[in-house]
Chains A and B, each alone.
Chain A
Amino acid sequence: MTTLEHRRYRLGVDVGGTFTDVVLTGPDGRMSVRKVSSTPGRYDEGIIRGIGEALEEAGVTASDVVEVCHSTTAATNAVLERKGAKVGLITTKGFRDVLEVRRLRTPTLYDLFYEPPDPLVPRYLRLEVDERLDAGGQVLTALDPDEVRQRIEELLAEGVESLAVCLINAYRNPVHERAIREVVQAESPELFVSLSHEVVSAIREYERTSTTVANAYLMPVMNTYLRSLRDRVSAMGIDAPILVMQSSGGMMTSHRAGERPVFSLESGPVAGVSGALHLSKKLSMPNLLTFDMGGTTTKAAVIEEGDPLKSMEYEIGAPISKGSRLLKGGGYLLMVRAVDVAEVGAGGGSLVSLDAAGSFHVGPQSAGAEPGPICYDRGGKEPTTSDANMLLGYLNPEHLLGGSLKVNLEKTRRIFDEKVARPLGLSVLDAAYGVHVVANAAMARAMRSVTTERGRDARNFSLVAFGGSGPCHAAALARQMGINRVIVPTAPGLFSSLGLLAAAQEYEFVRSLMMVTGDGAVDGLVSGFSALEDEAAQVLRREGYDPKRLTFQRYADLHYAAQIHELTVPVPDSDSVQELKEAFGQEHQRTYGYRSDSEAIEVTNIRVVGRPDVDASSELEMESMGAALYDAGGARGRRKAYFGRELGLVETEIITRGHLSSEAIPGPVIVEEYDTTIVVPPGCSVRRDEGWNVILSWGQES
């Protein structure tokens, strides 16, 4: 190793809609953090500023940075704001409308006026070619390159910048899609091209088309964004690769991210899960439920036996729902394996409302960052969750964010009384407590949709609470869900950017492989895997990796014959079909409560995940950072906080993380920090572990 050894600084940069968080970590466990305003439209402005300030504060030279790990909402926003590229789609004759017809199901019921989002490619830019493969991949009608040429000329004449190609049954044989790319390369090499079998080689034409089109829509945007970011970072003197968070939880090169933007759309939410995964390993707590509560929404995900649970597809751009997974079809579908993050429209800024039939709701409407809750006194006039927390005495009634934000408690109380307490016929405190509880009920739905709905019992998990508002609600939410332990990590408000530094580089490759397990199926499986690994090695060589220093892990998507929905299980090294069936049987039992060993099992896809043997993420030491972040104590205080009718207003000690030790102290206690507040209700106890994590416990800790 070179002198780099003692100059290994790493940057984590998480760009959200409102804030850009920058975390700088060094070899000595030092950490410097920066929260700056995001700069929509030119996100790199905010990033460069944040990086510059973080480096300056830490006194670190730009050239000592060895890695920049990044997550961004740039791609998601491009979809939401319809600022992607003008895309043309080429598809098989007879199937031009697959993209627009979708899967038909609507996210609302009894709604005569439901309108799905407009397709990302309007019909006049969706053109057909006369070609056809059968379900086995055999060519029925050969592709005519002249026809392709003509279609491409038509699309170019319309000003198309990016081309999506999705042909029926191309998941079985890519020959025609590849031939189309050859024509494009000869005719118009500057045109961006997304081929469906490369983006996601899996069965189901609508899902594959939708995913490929989204990729094409984002490719020019993300390419430009990432190239500009690379240039500007390098102009600062940082000579280091930029890695981008994928929705599946691993990092990829920024070059790959530009080619496969659909793989990084959930990068922000997943970065937080990655941080929790790191904790899970460090604390030897294999089962964690993440609870990421922000201003508008709350996100939940599950880490089970040390792995985040993933889903096969998700939607972007759908209106925020009340958490039901059944209400699908409101957004753009992506058939991309991603950490299963459930989201509900309940957060600190969620509005409190009462409907005409007497039911009381929190969210999904939100006061947003502007005007925000009433208590921030920036023009907010509608009661929110944060206002309730303020009235309950949970949040500091004078100021927030270390004093930088003054609070107007009187105004909050007045409006809350008029708009919530009196209509409900409750005292201000009982009404505020009700808001706290109802917000928890809404958030519990997100928690249930990643646990109970997938056959997992939430009570077997510990909760990791982060995001600005999470630690304020975590203890009460945990109690409601029967969860005994809550962990509030260091820097919970910046946990996502820290999570970026914890994630390993990882590349997933998928092939469709319709195969029924039985005698003789082993060969096909083995040769399928080795072919896929060869292909993966080639791609990764192009991304700058040494194939000899890569490790591949094998997975298969399986279902019982005639089922449609797969479960993904790791493939045992032995290549024994019997073991594979056993692994699937166990997973089916765990998820759905039964297994059916007499039935044949179909393998629909095989997956290979490649990881470099050496990865800087393994160096992350969150433990040593706590000491740098928190001082030993600070002033203690007291105020009254309200914990429901039975307990009433209780004199509560206000402390900082520095006051905590490994000795648990009983609630009520409130731990105030720069960007969050940890509420420990009566009956719950709190302590600090060696890694400066705050641990809350209901009842006896096991």
Chain B
Amino acid sequence: MECNFELGARVLREHTFDPITFEVIRNALQSITDEMMLTVQRTGRSPTTTQAFDFSAALCDTNGDVLDQGLAIPIHMGGIPETVQAVLNRFGGDIHPGDVMILNDPYSGGLHLPDIFLVTPIIVEDEIFGYAVTVVHHMDVGGRAAGSMAHDSTEIYQEGIRIPPMKLYDRGKLNETLAEMIQLNVRTPEVVMGDFASQISANGMGSRGILDLVEEYGTETLKFYLRQLMDYSERITRQGISEWPDGVYHFTDYLDEDGLSDDPIPIQVALHIKGDSALVDFTGTSPQTRGAINCVLSQSKAMAYCAIRCAIGEDMPNNSGCFRPVEVVAPEGTITNMQHPASCAARGVTSFRLVDAVLGALAQVVPERVAAAPEGGTSTGRFGFRQPDGTIRVFYDNVFGIRGAWNSGDGRGGVASVGANVSNVSVEIIESQVPLRLRSYGYVPDSGGPGRHRGGLALAREWEVLTPEATITWRSDRRAFPPYGLEGGGAGKGSSNILKRDDGEELLPTKINTVLKQGDVFRHQSPGGGGYGNPLEREPQAVWWDWRNGKVTSAHAREAYGVVMDEAAGVVDEEATAALRRERG
């Protein structure tokens, strides 16, 4: 954050800590969580870990409060304290060196079944100092569809193996009963077990890192500074919020549907700003749905925190202190606080929309600190291929990374969502590993929301199936309710799913669970980002540059921006543009 000697000095006078030790420990802690993250990424087996970065690593104290989380997935951030709490409730005083606890059940502290948490105690002289936690989005956890991400399961029981808090390792000894149960219930046992090994290795690294710090500073001093780090993040958050005008701000965003009915799904936010704290109230949001897009409470909290942190925009240590000034209300039985036995595999689509909805409210508080809506998070899917030996190969792919425009810049196509800083998957890697061929991957002209600043262009990707049969589940959204613009900017273009066969093209629903045949080409086009400001105020030269680069056609330039291109000369027809803009303006 900005250098401010005066304010900083006041804080230091009020708190008695040594700013030097503080900074040294902060650096060390961040190195440790980085190390944990890199270990998972480099040694993992699934494309979700090795390529997409769909995992998180954190260090927690004995309450489960996050001391530091590696820099990847805000979506996971709120889930970790709940997980550790669940483990403590189950095992309390029965935790020993060599134990590794496991869980994935959303009704017992998890998020959705594919996210499997492994928790390793950090033990200093027979006492638990805290926990090293990793959560990986696993390739498959069983259930109805390859990849365990079907949107059309209606009960949690259909979604795969549910693991309550258990010990995967008990004092260093593998719980073979549990391991066998898991391996038998998932389609990709080697990949899942390989990812477990990378998680355990990362947890070990985190634990060793903390033990080194204990050796250096002693338990009490280290604990003191870890608390100071949380207080520090809390202070930054409070300072940020206190600059915002008090009031209650409302915003409603929508999911297209749950894939099982056509009803739009409202997400309603009332954002209360008072002094240096905020309350995010989701009351009025849709009841939980039959389709698998429901969130547990900790998930909804994480997304509200994420939005607020974006609007604060300060760099701060990634710990539970950031959340203290923010309260979240989500009524039971809604998609923001699902109750048993609701299904949730595809809850990501809701998570991202929760961020958009809270940001929509924040745009009224601090319009210059918020961008127009992005693509709505990852459009993502799982392919399943039956192998000659009867096993099923599962592969993952996604399309996302389109930002909304903001007060002083265009949205970009090619930048991960704030909700999940994950990566796309290499075309050549996919083709070398599974029977798919990518036909194309690139921008869709005219798809960005018009504005003084243009929304990012949608991305489209096409897969051709090279094997007699492949299963696919694909989840997308923002077709009927495309990404909103701000301050007079237009919405981005909505998404589409198209199946191309020799006999023609077919528009598929936003969420599908189906079988593709050899030669079928599936095309997903993501939404485009929302625009910011009046498009008639966009610099004609900026429209020209987009036109020159094939990002905007002449027709769209005229229609959306009031800019007339002289195609033959390759320049803006300035007179005609001025006339047209006068007429429109």
| A contact residues vs B (CB 8 Å cutoff) | 93-98, 100-106, 108-116, 122-124, 134-135, 168-169, 171, 203-207, 322-327, 353-361, 419-420, 422-425, 433-434, 437-438, 440-442, 444-445, 448-449, 452-453, 480, 514, 560, 562-565, 588, 591-594, 596, 599
Most chain A CB within 10 A, of B20, B197, B431, B440, is at B20
Q: Are B415 and A104 in contact (CB under 8 A)?
A: yes
B5: chain A residues at CB < 8 Å are 353-354, 419-420, 423
Task: Find A356's partner among B7, B47, B72 (CB 8 Å cutoff).
Answer: B7
Contacts A/B (CB < 8 Å), 7 sampled: A94-B439, A98-B427, A112-B369, A425-B9, A563-B45, A563-B50, A565-B50
A98 and chain B: residue at smallest CB distance: B441
A270 to chain B, nearest CB (A): 22
A112: chain B residues at CB < 8 Å are 310-311, 313, 359, 369-371, 403, 406, 418
A559 to chain B, nearest CB (A): 9
A98: chain B residues at CB < 8 Å are 427, 441-442
Q: Kindly state whether residue B462 has any CB partner on chain A within 8 Å.
A: yes
Given contacts A356-B1, A360-B19, A564-B50, contact A113 B432 (CB under 8 A): no
**Nearest 9 pairs of A and B residues by beta carbon:** A358-B11, A94-B440, A423-B9, A97-B442, A353-B3, A354-B8, A564-B50, A356-B7, A123-B549
Q: Are A327 and B418 in contact (CB under 8 A)?
A: no
A272 to chain B, nearest CB (A): 23
Q: Kindly state whether residue B525 has any CB partner on chain A within 8 Å.
A: no
Task: Find A135's partner among B197, B201, B431 (CB 8 Å cutoff).
Answer: B431
In whole angstroms, what is the CA distance A206 to B2 when docked? 35
Q: Are B23 and A109 in contact (CB under 8 A)?
A: no
Q: Kindly state whether residue B39 has any CB partner on chain A within 8 Å.
A: yes
A457 to chain B, nearest CB (A): 10
B205 and chain A: residue at smallest CB distance: A593
B306: chain A residues at CB < 8 Å are 110
A97 and chain B: residue at smallest CB distance: B442
A247 to chain B, nearest CB (A): 21
Task: Find A105's partner among B422, B437, B440 (CB 8 Å cutoff).
Answer: B422
Q: Are A104 and B27 in contact (CB under 8 A)?
A: no
Given contacts A358-B8, A564-B47, A593-B204, contact A105 B34 (CB under 8 A): no
A96 and chain B: residue at smallest CB distance: B442
Q: Are A326 and B70 in contact (CB under 8 A)?
A: yes
Given contacts A101-B424, A169-B431, contact A354 B9 (CB under 8 A): yes
CB proximity to A under 8 Å, residues B399-428: 400-401, 403, 406, 408-409, 412-416, 418, 421-424, 426-428
In the complex, identify which listed stretch (B176-184, B232-240, B329-337) lies at the interface while the others stay far away. B232-240
Q: Kindly state whether residue B194 has any CB partner on chain A within 8 Å.
A: yes
Q: Are B414 and A105 in contact (CB under 8 A)?
A: no
B222 to chain A, nearest CB (A): 15
In whole angstroms, what is the CA distance A109 to B415 when docked? 11
Q: Are A109 and B71 in contact (CB under 8 A)?
A: yes
In whole angstroms, what is the CA distance A108 to B132 when docked? 23
A301 to chain B, nearest CB (A): 17
Q: Kindly state whether residue B340 has any CB partner on chain A within 8 Å.
A: no
B20 and chain A: residue at smallest CB distance: A434
Q: Are A356 and B43 in contact (CB under 8 A)?
A: no
Q: Are A206 and B39 in contact (CB under 8 A)?
A: no
Q: Are B235 and A105 in contact (CB under 8 A)?
A: no
CB proximity to A under 8 Å, residues B15-62: 15, 19-20, 22-24, 26-28, 30-31, 34-35, 37-39, 41-47, 50-51, 53
B181 to chain A, nearest CB (A): 20
Q: Are B418 and A109 in contact (CB under 8 A)?
A: yes
Q: Are A356 and B431 in contact (CB under 8 A)?
A: no
A333 to chain B, nearest CB (A): 12
Task: Find B413's partner among A101, A204, A361 (CB 8 Å cutoff).
Answer: A101
In whole angstroms, what is the CA distance A323 to B31 when docked? 9
Given contacts A203-B426, A596-B194, contact A101 B549 (CB under 8 A): no
A444: chain B residues at CB < 8 Å are 27-28, 31
Task: Find A116's partner among B10, B194, B412, B427 (CB 8 Å cutoff).
Answer: B412
Q: Kindly state whether residue B443 has any CB partner on chain A within 8 Å.
A: yes
Q: Kindly state whether residue B274 has any CB partner on chain A within 8 Å.
A: no
A325: chain B residues at CB < 8 Å are 34, 38
| B contact residues vs A (CB 8 Å cutoff) | 1-13, 15, 19-20, 22-24, 26-28, 30-31, 34-35, 37-39, 41-47, 50-51, 53, 70-72, 74, 190-191, 194, 197-198, 201, 204-205, 209, 232, 235-236, 239, 306, 309-313, 315-316, 318, 359, 369-371, 400-401, 403, 406, 408-409, 412-416, 418, 421-424, 426-429, 431-432, 437-443, 459, 462, 548-551
In whole angstroms, what is the CA distance A323 to B370 when docked? 28
Known: A357-B1, A360-B8, A434-B19. 10 other contacts (CB 8 A): A97-B442, A98-B441, A168-B428, A169-B431, A355-B7, A356-B239, A359-B232, A453-B35, A514-B432, A564-B50
In whole angstroms, what is the CA distance A122 to B42 when docked? 32
A680 to chain B, nearest CB (A): 22
Q: Are B428 and A204 in contact (CB under 8 A)?
A: yes
A356 to chain B, nearest CB (A): 4
Q: Are B74 and A109 in contact (CB under 8 A)?
A: yes
B423: chain A residues at CB < 8 Å are 103-105
Most chain A CB within 10 A, of B42, B44, B239, is at B42
B203 to chain A, nearest CB (A): 11
A433: chain B residues at CB < 8 Å are 20
In whole angstroms, what is the CA distance A592 to B201 when docked? 7
B466 and chain A: residue at smallest CB distance: A134
Task: Find B37's partner among A326, A355, A356, A563 (CB 8 Å cutoff).
Answer: A326
Q: Are B19 and A445 in contact (CB under 8 A)?
A: no
Given contacts A355-B3, A593-B205, contact A425 B8 (CB under 8 A): no
Given contacts A423-B9, A445-B27, contact A102 B414 (CB under 8 A): yes
In whole angstroms, what is the CA distance A106 to B72 when docked? 9
Q: Are B443 and A97 in contact (CB under 8 A)?
A: yes
A652 to chain B, nearest CB (A): 22
A168: chain B residues at CB < 8 Å are 427-428, 438
B414: chain A residues at CB < 8 Å are 97, 100-102, 104, 116
Task: Find B236's partner among A114, A322, A357 (CB 8 Å cutoff).
Answer: A357
In whole angstroms, what is the CA distance A95 to B305 when docked? 37
B28: chain A residues at CB < 8 Å are 441, 444
A193 to chain B, nearest CB (A): 22
Q: Are A441 and B197 in contact (CB under 8 A)?
A: no
In whole angstroms, what is the CA distance A183 to B470 when docked? 40
Q: Are B194 and A562 in contact (CB under 8 A)?
A: yes
In whole angstroms, what is the CA distance A141 to B141 when docked? 39
Given contacts A169-B428, A452-B31, A593-B205, contact A109 B43 (CB under 8 A): no
A125 and chain B: residue at smallest CB distance: B549
A206 and chain B: residue at smallest CB distance: B426
In whole angstroms, what is the CA distance A543 to B310 when docked? 54
A324: chain B residues at CB < 8 Å are 30, 34, 71
Q: Are A360 and B22 in contact (CB under 8 A)?
A: yes
In whole angstroms, what is the CA distance A336 to B311 when docked? 38
Q: Are B441 and A594 in contact (CB under 8 A)?
A: no
Q: Are A358 and B418 in contact (CB under 8 A)?
A: no
A171 and chain B: residue at smallest CB distance: B428
B514 to chain A, nearest CB (A): 24
B73 to chain A, nearest CB (A): 9
A437 and chain B: residue at smallest CB distance: B20
Task: Find B4's partner among A110, A169, A356 (CB 8 Å cutoff).
Answer: A356
Q: Are A354 and B549 in contact (CB under 8 A)?
A: no
A591: chain B residues at CB < 8 Å are 42
Most chain A CB within 10 A, of B27, B53, B316, is at B27
In whole angstroms, what is the CA distance A327 to B421 when docked? 10
A697 to chain B, nearest CB (A): 20
Q: Are A357 and B9 in contact (CB under 8 A)?
A: no
B352 to chain A, nearest CB (A): 14
A169: chain B residues at CB < 8 Å are 428, 431
A31 to chain B, nearest CB (A): 39
B26 and chain A: residue at smallest CB distance: A359
B233 to chain A, nearest CB (A): 8
In whole angstroms, what is the CA distance A116 to B401 when docked? 12
